[in-house]
Amino acid sequence: MSLTTDDPLAAAREILAAQAFNTVVGAELTDFGDGRAELVLDIADHHRQQYGVVHGGVLAFLADNVVTFAAGSVLGTGVITAGVDVSYLRAARAGSLRAVGSVARHTARHAVCTAEIWLEATDSDPELCAIAQGTIFATSRT
């Protein structure tokens, strides 16, 4: 895809806006650059599973996406994710989810990233809801 800006965060937001699946999920990119990315999602009814808490698939989507953006911040826009390992720690019921991705190490061709997904609610301290690891390749695609 072609981008209309050279500003890294603005360009990354254009990429996220081009993800049709995110238009139904609704995450926003709040940080991007230097091996780090952050997605924020306001929990809404359509994110829930049968017990009323956020679906594991939503957490897995955030984990997958935030490790990929974190990797993209060092590898460039042409990246493909080889895999992601998600461990669920706590049910998330209401508030916002903040997914923070960080590059643990990268070469020119790949990056290994970690992610933490925090629940932020108005009436309590942030709580860690999920952790993840992901491996991302650089491609020649731009």
Interface residue list for its own copies (CB under 8 A)? 1, 15, 18-25, 45-51, 54-58, 60-65, 68, 80-90, 104-105, 109-110, 112, 114, 128, 131-133, 135, 137, 141
Query: Considering the complex, what minimum distance in angstroms separates the CB of residue 21 from its own copies?
Result: 4
**Cα–Cα distance between 2 and 133 in angstroms, integer?**
29
- Minimum CB separation of residue 117 from its own copies in Å reads 11
Of 59, 35, 57, which is closest to residue 132 (Cα–Cα)? 59
CA distance 130 to 86: 7
* Closest CB to its own copies among residues 31, 68: 68
CB of 130: closest distance to its own copies in angstroms? 9
Handedness of CA 8, 14, 20, 26 (dihedral sign): positive
- Of 15 and 33, nearer to its own copies (C-beta) is 15
Tokens for 3, please give them: 């981008």
Closest to 63 (Cα-Cα) out of 32, 97, 34, 91: 97
Least distance (Å) from its own copies to the CB of residue 86? 6
Output 31 or 116, the one with its CB closest to its own copies: 116
Q: Which is nearer to its own copies, 30 or 110 (CB)?
A: 110
* Sign (positive or negative) of CA dihedral 121, 123, 128, 130: negative
